[in-house]
Amino acid sequence: MNDPAAAVLERARALVEDRKLSTVTRWKESHPGALAIGHMPVYVPRPLLEAIGCMPVALFGGGDAIDIIRGDSYFQSYICHIPRSTVELALLGDLSPIDGVLFPSICDVIRNLGGMWRMLFPEKYATYVDLPQSFEPDIGGAFYVLEMRRIARELAERGARPLDPARLGEAILRENERRAAIAELDALRREASWRCRASEAYLLVRAGGVLETREHTALIHEFLACARRRSGRPVDNVRVVLVGSFCEQPPLELVRALEKSGCEIIDDDFQLGMRMIDGPIEIAEGEDPLVALSRAYLEKGRDTASRYIGDLVKGAGLVRRVRESQADGVLFAAASFCDPALLDQPMLEAALTKAGVPHTSFKFSENMGQFSVIREQAGAFSDAVKLWGAEGAAP
């Protein structure tokens, strides 16, 4: 029977594979003079960019679609893959519709890549977004507000609209609608994963990286409507949460291979930036929307490796997510040489072991082409969990 969601998924796939950013070029043609601002993972305040009339464009590297030649000559062999493919894309001219790039403070690779960008492409705007690691509103929050004002001011000097609270408020509302749509998608995965598989959610969320918020929300709603019409039955897979893929993205085929191995990924941190704020960004009565945006990051930012844990207990958030989603286990899927993910992993593993949650780990690279070893490993994990539950699959 025909899949009612096939067409919308095909559109999402085309957007994800559009490495020359033709959607962005079209957007710029219909918005003369407006800027397209790229950003590296994990999180940047996208509503801020929209509010000043810029198109935020999520950059996720070149995946498995390009052959890295020039990019390789700028990075040692022990550095992850995403910076080299991003530089390759830029040197190939594929990122030419982008007028500037934001480099958020998630690791030293992205941080230094920002410095490289300034040297390689001095004519383009590039800045670091120093996300606060102090979560007190009048310390870290105040700093973050000033950081966002700085970015808005620098972009205004390059042709963006001056920051206006009313417009920012509207952009935040649109972001909240998107968040709600993604939350619905996530709920569907958890409750009826045969209606929305991880590989599909991966495409649908990632496609939003090159769309205006409203369009992205519409795309997800369209999928949800189609997916609900899908017939099917629950598959006998183990339910897993996947963590560690918040920056460099695993190839889609790897996600599919995991699904085929018997692991139903019902929660993940792919393209985490789109879900970074847990729930809506609330603007209190009379509050400056910029302060609300900052407050949302402080109060509702998701646990992830690049965010300081403070007094919280490492791994507690992950265990909670496992429980809430009724997952059977966790897959750690970190990009090779990814410091944040790999330094976090032993702490998270310890928390899971203590909580009796089975887990297994592997590393990937965005351009890998062979998945058989990982597939076998995930298959063995899924079999062990099915047969013996938490005890049998304990590492």
Partner 1 sequence: MTEHADAGARDQSQLTQKRMLAEHFDALAHAKERGRKIVYTFVPGNVTELLGALDLLPVLPEINALQSGMRGRSVGYIAEAEKAGHSKDVCTYVKCDVGMLRSGNIGPTGQRLPEPDLLLLSYTGCFTFMKWFEILKQEYDCPVVMLHVPYQTEGTITPEMRAYVVSQLERNVIPALEKVAGRKLDMDELARRLDLSARAEEDLVRVWESARHRPSPIDGYFGGVYYVGPIFSSFRGTEEAVRYYRELRAEVDERVRQKKGPMTPDGEVPEEKYRLVVEGPPNWTSFHDFWRMFSKEGATVVSSTYTRVGGLYDTGFRHDARRPLESLADYCLGCYTNLGLPARLDLLERYVKTYEADGFLVNSVKSCNSFSVGQLLMLRKLEERTGVPGGFIESDLVDPRYFGKANIENRVQSFLQMLETRRRLGPGAPLPERKEARRSLPVLDERGLP
Q: List contacts with ligand SF4 (CB under 6 A).
A: 80, 82-83, 106-107, 109-110, 247-248, 335, 338-341
CB of 155 to partner 1, least distance (A): 15
User: Max alpha carbon distance in the chain (Å)?
Assistant: 62
Shortest distance in whole angstroms from residue 245 CB to ligand SF4: 9
Site string for partner 1, 107-126 (x = CB under 8 A): xxx-xxxxxx-xxx------
Among 212, 222, 253, 339, binds partner 1 (CB under 8 A): 339
Question: 116 touches which of partner 1, ligand SF4, none (CB within 5 to 8 A by kind)?
Answer: partner 1
Minimum distance from CB of 83 to ligand SF4 (Å)? 6
Q: Which of ligand SF4, partner 1, none does residue 247 bind to, with CB < 5 to 8 Å depending on kind?
A: ligand SF4
Query: 173 CB contacts (<8 Å, ≥6 apart)?
Result: none
Nearer to ligand SF4, 212 or 339 (CB): 339
Q: Please check whether residue 152 is in contact with residue 160, taking contact to mean a CB–CB distance below 8 angstroms.
A: yes
- Per CB under 8 A, does 136 bind partner 1? yes
Binding mask 164-203 toward partner 1 (x if CB under 8 A, else -) reads ----------------------------------------
Nearer to ligand SF4, 299 or 339 (CB): 339
Tokens at 278, concatenated: 């847990």
**C-alpha torsion angle, residues 393, 245, 10, 7 (rounded to 10):** 60
Which range, of 38-46, 168-176, 224-232, 347-355, touches partner 1 by CB under 8 A?
347-355
With CB under 8 A, what is the number of residues at the site for partner 1? Answer: 63
User: Contact 44/273 with Cβ under 8 angstroms?
Assistant: yes
Min CB(135)–ligand SF4 separation in Å: 21
CB burial readout 348-381, b (16+ within 10 A) else e: bbebbeeeebbbbbbbbbbbbeebeebbebbbeb
Residue written as token pair 């893929």:
245
* Nearer to ligand SF4 (CB atom), residue 291 or residue 338: 338
- Within positions 268 to 327, which residues make up the interface with partner 1, using CB under 8 A? 305-306, 308-310, 314
Is-contact 147 129, C-beta < 8 A? yes
Instruction: Kindly state the smallest distance separating residue 85's Cβ from ligand SF4, in Å.
Output: 11
Interacting residues with partner 1 between 61 and 100 (CB under 8 A): 68-70, 72-79, 83, 91
In contact, 187 and 201? CB cutoff 8 Å: no
Q: 208 or 244: whose CB is closer to partner 1? A: 244
Could you say which of partner 1, ligand SF4, none residue 128 binds, taking C-beta under 5 to 8 angstroms by partner kind?
partner 1
Instruction: For residue 364, list its beta bridge partners.
Output: 335
What are the residue ranges of helices labelled H in 192-260?
198-207, 213-228, 252-260
Residue 272 CB neighbours (<10 A):
21
Closest to partner 1 by CB, 27 or 332: 332
Query: How many angstroms separate the first and last alpha carbons of the chain?
Result: 41
Residues 6+ apart with CB under 8 A from 209: 57, 58, 59, 60, 271, 274
Beta-bridge partner residues of 57:
38
Q: Which stretch binds partner 1 (CB under 8 A): 51-59, 175-183, 280-288, 330-338?
A: 330-338
From CA 59, how far away is CA 82, in angstroms rounded?
10
51 binds partner 1 (CB under 8 A): no
Nearest residue to 298 (alpha-carbon basis) of 176, 136, 149, 151: 136
Contact call for residue 355 and partner 1 (CB under 8 A): no
Question: Between residues 173 and 347, which has the closer beta carbon with respect to partner 1?
Answer: 347
Q: Which two tokens stand for residue 26?
A: 């079209």
Sites of contact with partner 1 (CB under 8 A):
68-70, 72-79, 83, 91, 105-109, 111-116, 118-120, 127-128, 130, 132-134, 136, 138-140, 142-143, 146-147, 150, 305-306, 308-310, 314, 334, 336-340, 342-347, 349-350, 363
